[in-house]
A and B are shown apart, each in its own frame.
Chain A
Amino acid sequence: MSVGPAGGAGPTTHLNGEEEDMTVTAPPPVGIDPMSLPAVAQKRKARVARRLVMPALIFSIILTQIPFLLAIVFSTLNWNQLRPDRIQFNWFANYLVVFTGPDFLPSLISTVTITGSSVILSLLFGLVFALLLDRSFRGQALARTLVITPFLVMPAAAALIWKWSMLDANVGMVNWALELVGLPAVAWNTEFPIVTVIMMLTWQYTPFFMLILLAGLQSQSREVLEAASVDGAGPVRTFQWMTLPHLRQYIEIATLLGSIMMLQVFDPIAIMTKGTGGTKTLSYLLYERAFIGLDVGEAAAFGVVTVVLTIVTTTIILRSLFSVFIEGGKR
């Protein structure tokens, strides 16, 4: 597979060569091979394409790269906001603070713990919901609609409702339900802040996993499943040997995209825990450094290190996402 120009080398039928499975639905082109067009036309096309891409590219560069370049510059300065008259170049002193100080590593661990647990839980709940909602039963459409709703709810509103209405130690519904079945009340927000964040994230992202897995289940061939059933395979074996392997690709896509989204989690931390109890994720740490701390240089250095780390991680994630696409395309 290839994304882009290399795909045009062969007689591909598509705007780009990425999705080979599409050749099934579209017949091969008759007589027009793009590469056989005169070179002049090709050049003209390239120029047109570049002109179409430029506005978006320039816009993106101005709004995202200039602040980042500034962050790199700031990160080499000794710049305290209380003393704006004494800004000095100080090489890598700020980076030394990032790597030897007490903040960065715990924050990285928090981010990985919160993201990891929430992804695994969302995946499990998402799979359960997808399997249950794939059956046909009365009100199936309504049930699906209700289940996707948490993903649509504004995260700030969800965090507020969870914190004050669901998990509050005194008037929260969760504690009321616990007492109903004879369990002691729990001071969720103060004693288990990390659990509250994971609960809330799991609740929000389960629909996302469910939607992708459901799409996977529905793309499974009914005939094959019926054949398996006729051959005497029980539901458990059918699930283990047929459904699960089929779902693998969808599980991978959901996990990768879900992780990328959750790695940046900020809203529930800011609203529910303020970074207490092991919930100070990288996003929250950066915010604290930038707006509560006064050291611009250090804050910028934390930012630069986080960006490099994120870009490396997400590039690996995206490359494997592409390999998912490749496998999918070759099927």
Chain B
Amino acid sequence: MRSLRSTLITTFTWILVALFFFPILWMVFTAFKSEADAGSIPPKFIVDLTLQQFEAVFNRGMGYYLLQSTLASVGSTLIVLALAIPAAYGLSIRPIKKVQDVLFFFISTRFMPVAAIILPLFLILKTIGGLDNIVTLVLLYTAINLPIAIWMMRSFFSEVPLEIIEAAQIDGANLRTELVRVVLPIVLPGIAAVALISFIFAWNEYFIATLVTTVNARTTPPFLVSFVDGRGQFLAVLSAASTLAVLPVVIAGWAAQKQLVRGLAMGAVK
């Protein structure tokens, strides 16, 4: 009786999980179909699989856009780490006045809707010639990710027992060796979480990318939208492009589920 109920719940779980995951599964499946098969109703579950959509996607230059996405996300993640680690450490070793205010300032910049400042930003970039430049995206993504990175890093630093640092100071270690040799190894998982979250946000960002880039610095998300074609069938090729676009983040997220949880909750959940 008990095992029957358990089996039923497990079956129910799998049905729900399958339904929930279905759109992604269907996207990947459609990516391997021909356009004719992809657009047929009723949908075809048994088809000849083909790689022609992926070929088409790369012929339309997807490689370049993936490269731009990589530059923007890796570049901004590195700068985020370089700025956030010292800042969070500075906010953790005691006596800066008004730490709370500084923290609130940082976090409030993250929650300021980007849409509200996009016009002045756009006009500034236009004036200084910063439009359609990958460096611009790197800097903007850094600004967006920095607050959460500092917030998260601080919560990781706060778990480092103070006496470890004080001991290092008594040993005469200067600040840099103290940070690099003593503290960093302890908070390494936290740094991984921060890097992962920064990378995900930057890789998936659409709004800014679509407005401040046109050709040279265009990243993958706005490029995907260009597959929607009013004149013909595009489901299969769109699915192929989307599959490639989501792959890096999905794999990274799958590999680092534990870090993801802590990172997403900004350290609120252990």
Q: Which residues of A contact B (CB under 8 A)?
A: 2-5, 8, 12-16, 18-19, 22, 26, 29-30, 32, 34, 42, 45-46, 48-53, 55-57, 59-60, 63-68, 70-71, 74, 128-129, 132-133, 135, 137-139, 143-158, 160-162, 164-166, 170-171, 173, 176, 203, 206, 208, 211-212, 214-216, 219, 250, 253-254, 257, 260, 263-264, 266-267, 270-271, 282-284, 286-287, 289-291, 296, 299-300, 302-304, 306-307, 310-311, 314-315, 318, 321, 324-325
Contact = CB atoms under 8 A, between A and B. Distances in A.
Interface string B1-41: 00000100110111011001111101100100000000111
Contacts of A315: 104, 108
Q: Which of B111, B118, B146 has the most CB of A within 10 A?
A: B111
Contacts of B115: 264, 266, 282-284, 286-287, 290, 303, 306
A257 B148 CA distance: 12
By secondary structure, the B interface counts as helix
Contacts, number: 363
B252 to A, nearest CB: 8
11 contacts: A5-B99, A46-B97, A53-B90, A56-B150, A67-B120, A70-B120, A71-B119, A176-B43, A257-B268, A296-B119, A315-B104
B94 A49 contact: yes
B158 A16 contact: yes
Given A16-B91, A154-B221, 15 more contacts: A8-B95, A56-B87, A59-B146, A60-B143, A68-B117, A70-B123, A149-B250, A153-B250, A161-B27, A165-B235, A171-B235, A290-B122, A302-B116, A310-B112, A311-B111
Contacts of B253: 148-149, 151-152
Contact of A144 (B105, B108, B221, B257): B257
B148 to A, nearest CB: 10
Interface in B64-96: 83-84, 86-87, 89-96
Interface string B218-255: 00111011011000001100110010011001101110
Closest 6 CB pairs of A and B: A4-B99, A52-B90, A303-B116, A56-B87, A15-B92, A63-B143
B158 A14 contact: yes
A156 to B, nearest CB: 4
A306 B113 contact: yes
Given A15-B93, A49-B95, A59 B83 contact: yes
Contacts of A65: 109
Contacts of B122: 290
Contacts of A161: 23, 26-27, 238-239, 242
Contacts of B17: 129, 143, 146-147
Interface in B143-178: 143, 146-147, 150, 154, 157-163, 165-166, 175
Chain B interface size band reads 35 or more
